[in-house]
Structure 1
Amino acid sequence: MPSNDYWQFPAIDPVIFSIGFVDIRWYGLAYLAAFAFAYFWGMRQTEKDPNWSKEQFSDLLFWGFIGVIVGGRVGYTFFYQFEHFVSNPLYLFYIHEGGMSFHGGLLGVIAAMYLYARKKQRSFLQVGDFVAPLVPMGLFF
C-alpha cells in the first residue's frame, strides 16, 4: 500500500518564543515584516510621486493597518468561528486565542482604501495605484 507521508505537513510551533504570558507568534512577525516593508517602500514612492506626500502616505498606511487587522479578525470570526460569535459576540475580541483570515484582511484593506479615498477626495483607483506595489511583499510574508 502506498505511503501518504507526502500529505503530512511539518509540525511547526506557531509560537516563536514567550515572554512571561505573552507569546510571540510567527504570524505576528509576518505582519510586522509586511508593515515594515510597506512603510519603507511607500516612503520611497512618495519621493518619486508628486501626488503623494509623506504625511498623506502615513495616514493611508494607518488606515490600511487598521483595515487589515480589524478585517482579518472579523473575517476569521465570521468565516471560521461564526458559531462561537453567535453564542458569545465578545468572541470577536478574544484576540489572545488567535485567529486572522487573509480574505477578511483583504476586504478590510479594500474598505480602508475606499474610506481613505472618499475622505481625502481622491479616486479609489489613484489610491489603489499607490498601494499596489506594497502588496506583493506583504503577501510573501
Structure 2
Amino acid sequence: MWVHPMPDPVALSIGPLHIRWYGLMYLAAFVQFVALARMRIRQPHIARAGWVREDIDDMLFYGVLGVVIGGRLGEVLFYHPAFYFANPLEIFKVWNGGMSFHGGFLGVLLAMSVWAHRQKRNAWDVLDFIAPMVPLGYAFGRIGNFINAELPGRIADATLPWAMIWPNVDNLPRHPSPLYQALEGVIEFVLLWMFSRREVPRMAVGGMFCLLSGLGRFITEYFRVPDYDVHLANITISAGQMLSLPLIALGIVMLIFAYRKPVFPPDRAPAVNATASKVK
C-alpha cells in the first residue's frame, strides 16, 4: 500500500522568507504558458493573425491577476464562504492552498476580456489563442495540491495498485485524486494542442477547451472527496460537478456556433477558401 509522502510544503527557507512548493507550481504554470505561447505564435495561422511576443508578456500580467484573484474568490464564494467570512484574513493566505479552478477560469475570462478591449482585439480570438496553454498550468496546480496533501480521494479498494493512505486524513486506502486531475490536465493539453494546430473557426478552440475541461473535471470528481454534495431531483453530485455543468454547456454552445456559420478572424481564412475565390 502506498502512503502519501507528506513532504514539507516549504521548498526553501531563506531567513524569514519561506518559498513553498505550492507557489513554485504556480510559477511553473506561468513559465510553461509563456513557453507554449511562443511556440504557438510560430504556427502559420496564428502568425497571420498578428500575434507577437509582446502580446504574450502583456497577457501574462492580466492572466496572473485573473488566476490568483479569481481562483481565490472562487474558493471563498463557491466552497467555504462561512469559514472565510468568519476568518477574513485567511482569504489572503493563498500559499496555504485553496484555489478554485472555476473561479480562476472566470477570473482569466474577465482579465482577457479587459485586455482584448484595450488592444482592440476580438475577445473570442484571445480565448482561442490562450486556451491550449491553460491545461498544463492546471496540472501543475494539482501537483501543488498533492504536495500540500489537499483534496484527498474517496476510499478505494485496497487491491487497487496505486491506492494511497493519506496520514493527515485516516488509515484507509484512497484514490490519489490530485494526481488524477493532474493527468486530466496533461490529456486535455495534448488533445487541445493537436486540435488547435490547424485552422478552425472562431470560438472552436475556446469551445473545445470549455467542453474538455468541464467533462474532465466532472469525471475526476467521482474519485475526490467532495467539498459538499448537491441534490438535483433524484441525483446527487458534488459541488465541483455542479460548477462544471455550465462549463460543459458553454463549450457545446460555442462549438455549435463556431461550426454552424464558420467565421475566421481577419487574414486567417483557410487557404482553400482563397483558392476557391481565385477560381471564381
Q: TM-score, normalised by structure 1?
A: 0.77
CA distance in 2, matches of 1:32, 1:104: 19
Report percent identity of matched pairs. Answer: 44
Judging by fraction of residues, say which structure has more helix.
1
What is the number of equivalent residue pairs in this alignment? Answer: 136
Q: Which residue of 2 aligns with 1:82?
A: 81
Query: Which segments of 5 or more consecutive residues in structure 1 lack a partner in the other structure?
Result: none
Residue 77 of structure 1: how far off its partner (Å): 2.4
In terms of mean alpha carbon deviation, does 121-130 or 80-89 score higher? Answer: 80-89
How do 1:26-105 residues align onto structure 2 when only pairs under 5 Å count? 26-48=21-43, 49-50=47-48, 51-95=50-94, 97-105=96-104
Residue 34 of structure 1: how far off its partner (Å): 1.0
What letter corresponds to residue 30 of structure 2 in structure 1? F
CA distance in 2, matches of 1:11, 1:85: 25
Q: Which residue of 1 aligns with 2:130?
A: 131
What letter corresponds to residue 123 of structure 1 in structure 2? N
CA distance in 1, matches of 2:22, 2:119: 32
* 8 A Cα contact 1:46 1:57, kept in partner: no
Q: Secondary structure in 2 aligned to 1:100?
A: coil
CA distance in 2, matches of 1:138, 1:125: 20
Structure number with the bigger relative contact order (C-alpha 8 A, sep ≥ 6) is 1
CA distance in 1, matches of 2:51, 2:131: 14
**Greater radius of gyration (CA):** 2
Q: Which residue of 2 aligns with 1:20?
A: 15
What are the superposed Cα offsets for residues 49-69 of structure 1, whole Å, 9 maximum, x if unpaired?
Answer: 142122222211211111011
RMSD: 2.5
Residue 88 of structure 1: how far off its partner (Å): 4.9
